[in-house]
Structure 1
Amino acid sequence: MALDALDISTIAPTEALKSEARALSERAEGLAAGDILKLAFEHFGTGLALVSSFGADSAVLLHMVSEIDKTLPVVFIDTGKLFGETLRHRDALVERLGLTNVRSVKPQPKRLEEVDPDGTLWFRNTDACCGVRKVEPLSFALSEFDAWITGRKRHQAVTRANLALFEADGEKIKVNPLAGWTSRDVEAYRLAHDLPAHPLVAEGYKSIGCMPCTDRVADGEDERAGRWRGQAKTECGIHLGLAGREANGSGI
């Protein structure tokens, strides 16, 4: 469906956004990841941002974006519980790629004082911890944008097996240019462009989030099996719908 063929005047806002996402996905089908990104840049303009965890696979998407526009807003959620290796990896990539608009967003101090004054909420209630440290800050940070780019991939977990290239999420559209990529694709791109690997990958961490809730992954396990080990939880909440403080606390 062509985007200009959509008549959104008679469609409810949420349905119009879903139709827009479906039309964009149809246009993007079969395109290379870089061309999907260019489509997103052209369609959303200044209403677009990249959300990056600067985790295991992040260098690839950050490099692709830097090749198109180094000034694109890059939102990084510093939960206060991240590995020091992740923060140093972020700084190295920002300098290497020449990114000029990386926004490091932290939880609101008043909210932490309300719900996690001693910093141990992760031990008692991981959903609530993700909510206050990731979902809320991201929701506020994205309030000025119409769409955001993620690095999620279908192979990462069963919860992502049917991931679309463009998807509606609340009042925004998410762009998933690497949805069809495999681990081999990511590594091949990284090596081809001589991009630094996250230092924890060599230690067995394939999906890297906060320190208390990230574990090494054994051969044969899903990449995200090390997140919230021993719990049914597989997503932090940012990909379950952003709704500010009402959202229940996935890797980006």
Structure 2
Amino acid sequence: MQLNTINLDGRVAVVTGGAQGIGYEVADRFLRSGARLVIWDINQDSLQTAKGTLAAATGRDDIHTMRVDIADNAGVEAAVAGTVEALGRIDILVNNAAIVGPNAPLADYPLDAWRSVLDVDVNGTFYCCRAVAPVMTAQNYGRIVNVASIAGKEGNPNAAAYSAAKAAVIAMTKSLGKELAGHDIAVNCVTPAVARTPGAMEQAPEHIKYMLSRIPRGRFLELAEAAAMIAWLASAENSFTTGAVFDLSGGRATY
């Protein structure tokens, strides 16, 4: 894929779950676009690996990493404070970190798994937005991109927790976008269809087959395609649209 030029020169960007999957591809695109990057991820080994491979691929030696559990509000607040102390500001936040949870009918869904999915996917996104919004308001600039899912629009069977969590992320995006609209802050989300990410590929083969069957394009979302849309949403050029949902479903979305 030939990349368009997105100008993120000097912008400080935080990408949660940036050590793998869509988050890693976004991190790569941001670095190539001139951003100063901070990756938050819960897995320290993955962080170190990602930092090395990104540095080799982009020639950048100024990549920052932090081990952050986004389901821990105190940890998120500390990470925001540490990022601002190190880099002076936060211009971009991409809330990508999430877990998928098991595939099971709602009536059989494990209670601990339900709580874990909502704790990471909903509460974690909330904690990150809550901690970063005052920073962006004070500097009167910011771009927040939340990674939701087509499951949040349509609801996938045997994935009630993930579907409910991503629907909540969509609603949260709309609410926060309205709250911050008086500033030069844009809050938007994307709704990807299934892509070859580690979390998605851990699901049951029959569930993956179901999700693919629902995509008119007839294929997986490519990670670079997701990163391309997110990069534009994170740029200064996206100066008007906020509280919106951008489709990455290959034609599956009906609204």
The higher-RCO structure (CA 8 Å, 6+ apart) is 1
User: Would the TM-score normalized by the shorter structure come out above 0.5?
Assistant: no
| TM-score, normalised via structure 2 length | 0.38
